[in-house]
Amino acid sequence: MSGAELALLVSVFLACAVEAVEALTIVLAVGSTRSWSASLYGCAAATLALALVVAGFGPALTQLPINALRVVVGALLLIVGLQWLRKAILRAAGLKALRDENAAFARASAATRAAGARAVAGVDAYAFVVSFKGVLLEGLEVAVIVLTLGANQHHVPLAAAAALAAVAIVALAGFAVRAPLARVPENTMKFAVGVMLISFGTFWGTQGAGAAWPGGEVALLAIVPGVALASLAMTLRLRRAGEAAAAASEAV
C-alpha cells in the first residue's frame, strides 16, 4: 500500500468517525425517547441513500480526464477541509465552544419529547424523519470525501470500505453503552482531517492546473506538516489574542 493510499484510508476513516459520532447522538436521542425501530429505520434509509450517492457518482468522477478530475477533487477537498479546520482552530483557541455530545443528546431528547405523535404505516414518522435527516446531513460531507479521495486515487471501494469500518465501530460502541460517545476527541480528529484535506486539495488541485511538485507525491511530506504547523501557529495566536481581550475587558 502506497503512502497516498494509507493517507486516504486514515483521512476517510477519521472523517467518517467524527460524523458518525455526531449522527449517533441523534439516533440514540430519538430512539431512547420515541421509537428505536423508527430511529433505526431512518438511520438505515439515510445510510442507503449515501451509499447510492457514492455508487452513482464514483464511477462518473473516475471517467473525467485526469487533470480535470484533480482540479475538481482539489476544489472540493479545499472547501470541505477549510470548513473543518476553521471550526477546529476556533474551538482549540477557545473562541468557539467545543461540541458537547451529552448536551447535544439532551437537546435532541427534549425536542423529541415535545414533538407530537404521528405514525405512518405503524412507524413513528417524527422519529424516522429526524433520524434520517441527521444521518444524511452528517454523512454528506463524508460522501464528498469518499468520492473525491477515492476517485482521484481510483480507489472508491477502498475509501468506501474505510467509511463503513468507521461507521461500524462507532455504531457498535454507541449501542453497546447506549450513550453518546462524549469522550471521543472530535475536535482533534477534525483538526487532523482538515489538515489532510487541505494538503491533498492543494497538491492535486495545483497538479490539475498544470503545476509540478518536486518529487511528486513525496512533496506531501512537506505540505502536510507545513499546513499543520501553520494551523497550530494560528491557533496559538488566536488563543493569545482572546486571552488578551479577556484580560483587557476584566481590567475595565
β partners of residue 124: 119
Rounded Cα gap, residues 14 and 186, in angstroms: 9
Contacts of 72 (CB under 8 A, 6+ apart): 61, 64, 148, 208
pLDDT band at 252 (very low <50, low <70, confident <90, very high): low
Flag whether pLDDT at 181 surpasses 90: no
* Tens-digit pLDDT profile for residues 65-117: 888 888 988 898 899 899 999 999 999 998 888 888 888 888 888 888 887 66
Highest mean pLDDT among 58-67, 103-112, 226-235, 240-249: 226-235
* Tens-digit pLDDT profile for residues 121-130: 778 888 899 9
Q: pTM of whole model > 0.75?
A: yes
Helices and strands counted in the chain (H then E): 8, 2
Q: What is the pLDDT of residue 135?
A: 92
Ordered by start, the domain boundaries in the chain are: 3-244
Closest C-alpha to 224, from 200, 246, 248, 247:
200
- In 45-152, DSSP assigns E strands to 119-120, 123-124
